[in-house]
Each structure stands twice: as C-alpha cells, then as structure tokens.
C-alpha cells in the first residue's frame, strides 16, 4: 500500500513538472515570436540574417568577410535557413530556440537546488520574458550571455552535485559563449579557472576525476573549432587579427572613455543588486558559524555567484549598449531562495524575493518588450508599423517600423524603389548599407567584404590594423570582380579611407542611393 502511494506521489510530481515544462516551452516561443515580429533596428536586426545568407552562398567569416563578432551565430542561422528557408520566421525561430534553452536550463537548475516546482516555474517564466524577447532576433550579446550563464550554472552544479558531466559542460558552453562574443566569456574564463584551482586546493580533494572531464570538454571544444577552421580554410592569422587583436584595440579605446558614475555602475542595475542582498546576508551569517565542510562549500558557492554576476555587470558596462542582463534577476532570486531557505527560513524573505521578481519582470517587460527600448524604438509609435511583406514576401508577418525619422510606409516605398534600381543593374555589384536584408532579397551572389559598416567594425586610418583591413577589402572586391558599389545612407566615408576619391566615379541616383564605379580603383 505504501509502495503504491509513493508511486502515485512520484507520478503526480512528474506530471506536474511536465505540465510546467510544457507551459515554459510555449511561453519562451510565444514571447520571442510575438516581439521578434514587431519593429527593427536595421544595423542590428539584419546583421545575422545577412551572415546566414553569406554562408548559404559559400562565404565564410574571417576568410571572405571581415568580422569582429563571433561566428557561431552565423553558422547556427545558416542551419535554420537550410531547414526552414530564408525568411523572417526561421530567423526569429533561431532566437526562440535560445530563449527556450536558457528558460529550461533555469528550470532544471532550480529543481536541482531543491526549490519547489511552483517557485522554479515562476522564476523560469520570468527568464523567458526577460531574456530574448527584448531583441526578438539573433543577437551576439544575448547568445554570449546565455551561453556564459549556462556555463556558470554547470560549474555551480559541478560543485554542488558532484556530477562529472557538469565539469565537461562548463568549458563547452564557455567556448560557445566566446565564439558568440569575446565578453563576458573572456572575463569568466579567468574567474572560473581561479575558482576551480581554489576548490582543488582548499577542499584538498583527492578525486582527480573532475579534471579529466574538465580537460576533455576543453579539448573537444578546441578540436571542433580547429576542425571548423581547417574545413572552411580560414587562415588562423585572419581569425586572430579580426577576432582578438583588433577588438583588443577597440577595448582599450572604450575602457578609457567609460564614465564610472553612480548611474552607470549602480542605478541602472539596482534590481540586480536588490536580488543579491539576501546572498550578502547569508555570507555574513556564515562568517559567524563554525566552519565545517558544508559551510565551506556554501561559502564558496555564494562567493562564486556574487563574483560571476559582478563580471556580467562589468561586461555590460564595457559593452556600452542597451542593458540585456536583467534575466539575471530570476537567476539570483532562485539562488537567494535556496540559501535563505537553508539558513533563515523566514517567510518575509521569500515575500521580498518574489516581490522583487514580479516588479522587475513587469518593469523590464514593459520597457524592453512592449516599448522596444533595446531596439531604440521607445520613442516611436509602434501602431504606425506596416506589413514588411509589401517590401518582400520573405518578411511575411514582420511589422515594419524603424527608429529613423521617416514614416514606415514611406520607408518601404523608398526601399522598393532602391530594390528595382539595383535589380536593373547587370554588373558585378555589392551593397554597402545598414539594410543588410538586400542581398538575400535580391538573391545577390556577391557579398560586401564587411559583416557590417560602422566606426567599430571598420578600423580607422590611425589604427595599426588599418592596412590589413584595407588589403583584405580590396582583395575581396578583386576576387569577386566587383565593378559597382551601391551605397545607402552615409557610408561613403568608409570608402574614402580605402580609395582615393579621384579613382572612382560616383552617381547620385536619388537622396538615399549612390552608385559608384570602382573599376579604376581595383585595377
């Protein structure tokens, strides 16, 4: 009878968890898809779309186009385009899968900590709202932070649960994060390695098995990367210059211009700090207790969590972009829940944590999802958006509106006119524009030598890598036998750094479009 009751209770728990998992899957997809089809910020929204299209045509990052962001998003999007076609649906689907991934990782993590299923569900659904819906389409910063958090979670579980598989997964996801964007993974690498060494020395463990799994995960990640480099014939020198050395120069310039004021360091991250307060109290409580193995372990995990989150904040400050790390709040609330239950077990603390969660989730949902602040759309009337399908069938479902001072209907009309003009040109051509959707819409087989064009992606004349970039740019145009450049917006300034203005012939077609013949420049 007792056995039957136990089996029944277990079945009830499993059914409840599966029910919650189903809801989490639906919510992660729904929020991403809903907001991924509302509004665009061209230079960001079309970046990975174009990169996926480049790969479909046999062009690879670092080898064929200059790239200072990680290649992993380009290749993932290539797979989604292969499976589901070149369209906005498969583009948003890519982001939705990542949102699902981090949502389920959170849920699994909280369950492993022993947090009740209902609370685990609440914290995880908050993450599904705050993670990818703010941008809605693949974005290097989101991927990098998501993979980094996953790596941190597995390191936490490796200490907490003592399961070898978690040690294996730590370097795998940290490497995936690095190949999305250089930070925060570069900072976390130092933090994680330091803590692993401290763990090994401090706890005087004689179990060397975890080193085997840790090193195995690292070797596998490195092997896959080198295989990718070898198969695609990407020069290692190009990878190091574009992805490590040149970005380091950018980092130096950025770090010197950061203003460490109250708003930048504290005010804009206040809800993250609020979520950390209970953990600080627990640390203080532990400092007064007699040290045993369990106390040492909890002390270690608490310190690790606080430093890891501080690293994410530091990375966000250095990025100087719209803030995307607010889904750290449910992560911190879950960990605070676990430790406070263990050492305080006061109901008012749980009420405080849940209140912070609900207030912050609503606040940032309205700011970043509804008002689209991350996409710089918070000052436009989203109700004015028009059907992007009018521009091209591949954009079916997308509500077109941009932050630019122009009506969406007029913008679409201009883009259609530009599309027809470029289609009528029969020369070998590329387009230099923030509207990087054009190559796929026009089915162009030639590509721009840059992943995108702005002051960060393109080295300035006084940068020590400028000549390397200039040679790379010219070689790409020469190899593709490019005769014509179509330039939208104010992008000619980048061309003037490479060619003398007297070698090319410019024709202003309309107020938005210029046509440049570069045959003399190339020859």
Quick: pLDDT tens for 329-378: 999 999 999 999 888 877 888 999 999 999 999 999 999 999 999 999 99
Q: Check: CB of residue 330 under 8 Å from CB of residue 210.
A: no
What is the rounded average pLDDT of the residues 6-25?
A: 73
**DSSP-derived 3-state class of residue 25:** helix
- Given this model, what pLDDT does residue 6 score? 47
Chain segment 476-491, per-residue pLDDT in tens: 999 999 999 999 988 8
Pair of tokens at residue 301 = 């995990």
pLDDT band for position 13 (cuts 50, 70, 90): low
pLDDT digits 0-9 by tens, 186-235: 889 888 888 888 777 776 566 678 889 999 999 999 999 999 999 999 99
Residues in the chain: 523
Q: What phi and psi, each to the nearest 5 degrees, are found at residue 59?
A: -100, 135
The whole-number pLDDT of residue 8 equals 53
Helix axes 140-161, 164-178, angle to 10 degrees: 160
Give the confidence band of 2 by pLDDT, cuts at 50, 70, 90. very low
Residue 100 pLDDT > 70 = yes
CA distance between the termini of the chain? 89
Provide the percentage of residues in the chain whose pLDDT is more than 90.
70
Q: Identify whether the C-beta of residue 399 lies closer than 8 Å to the C-beta of residue 493.
A: no
Distance CA(506)–CA(329), nearest Å, equals 52
Question: pLDDT digits over 241-270, tens only?
Answer: 999 999 998 877 766 667 777 777 888 999
Please choose, from the candidates 417, 384, 401, the residue with its C-alpha nearest in 3D space to the C-alpha of residue 511. 417
Crossing angle for the helix pair 347-364 and 117-130, to the nearest 10 degrees: 20
Q: What is the mean pLDDT of residues 302-322?
A: 88
| Angle ∠(292,298,303) on CA atoms, nearest 5 | 125
């Amino acid at each position: 009878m007792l056995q039957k009751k136990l089996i029944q209770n277990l079945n009830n728990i499993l059914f409840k968890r599966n029910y919650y998992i189903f809801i989490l899957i639906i919510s992660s997809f729904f929020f991403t898809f809903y907001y991924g089809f509302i509004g665009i910020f061209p230079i960001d929204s079309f970046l990975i779309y174009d990169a996926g299209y480049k790969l479909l045509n046999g062009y690879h990052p670092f080898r064929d186009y200059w790239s200072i962001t990680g290649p992993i998003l380009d290749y993932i999007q290539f797979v989604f385009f292969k499976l589901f076609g070149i369209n906005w649906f498969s583009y948003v689907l890519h982001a939705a899968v990542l949102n699902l991934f981090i949502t389920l990782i959170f849920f699994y993590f909280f369950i492993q900590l022993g947090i009740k299923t209902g609370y685990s569900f609440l914290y995880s659904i908050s993450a599904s709202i705050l993670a990818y819906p703010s941008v809605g389409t693949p974005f290097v910063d989101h991927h990098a932070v998501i993979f980094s958090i996953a790596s941190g979670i597995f390191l936490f579980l490796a200490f907490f649960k003592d399961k070898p598989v978690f040690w294996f997964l730590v370097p795998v996801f940290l490497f995936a994060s690095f190949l999305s964007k250089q930070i925060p993974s570069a900072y976390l690498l130092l933090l994680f390695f330091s803590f692993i060494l401290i763990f090994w020395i401090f706890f005087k463990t004689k179990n060397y098995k975890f080193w085997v799994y840790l090193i195995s995960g690292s070797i596998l990640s490195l092997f896959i990367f080198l295989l990718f480099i070898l198969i695609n014939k990407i020069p290692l020198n190009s990878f190091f210059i574009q992805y490590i050395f040149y970005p380091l120069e950018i980092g130096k310039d950025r770090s010197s211009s950061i203003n460490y004021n109250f708003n930048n360091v504290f005010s804009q991250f206040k809800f993250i700090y609020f979520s950390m307060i209970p953990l600080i109290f627990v640390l203080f409580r532990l400092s007064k207790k007699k040290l045993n193995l369990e106390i040492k372990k909890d002390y270690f995990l608490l310190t690790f969590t606080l430093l890891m989150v501080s690293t994410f904040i530091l990375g966000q400050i250095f990025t100087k972009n719209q803030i995307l790390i607010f889904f750290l709040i449910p992560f911190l609330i879950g960990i605070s829940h676990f430790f406070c239950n263990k050492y305080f077990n006061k109901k008012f603390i749980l009420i405080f944590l849940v209140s912070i969660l609900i207030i912050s989730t609503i606040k940032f949902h309205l700011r970043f999802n509804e008002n689209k602040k991350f996409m710089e759309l918070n000052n436009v009337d989203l109700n004015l958006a028009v059907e992007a399908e009018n521009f091209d069938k591949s954009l079916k479902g997308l509500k077109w509106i941009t932050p630019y001072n122009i009506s969406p209907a007029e913008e679409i009309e201009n883009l259609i006119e530009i599309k027809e003009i470029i289609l009528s040109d029969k020369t070998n051509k590329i387009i230099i524009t923030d509207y990087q959707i054009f190559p796929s819409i026009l089915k162009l087989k030639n590509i721009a030598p840059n992943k995108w064009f702005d002051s960060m992606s393109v080295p300035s004349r006084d940068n020590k890598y400028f000549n390397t970039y200039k040679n790379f740019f010219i070689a790409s145009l020469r190899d593709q036998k490019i005769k014509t450049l179509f330039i939208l917006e104010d992008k000619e300034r980048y061309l003037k750094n490479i060619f003398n203005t007297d070698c090319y012939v410019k024709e202003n077609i309309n107020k938005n479009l210029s046509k440049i013949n570069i045959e003399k420049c190339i020859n």
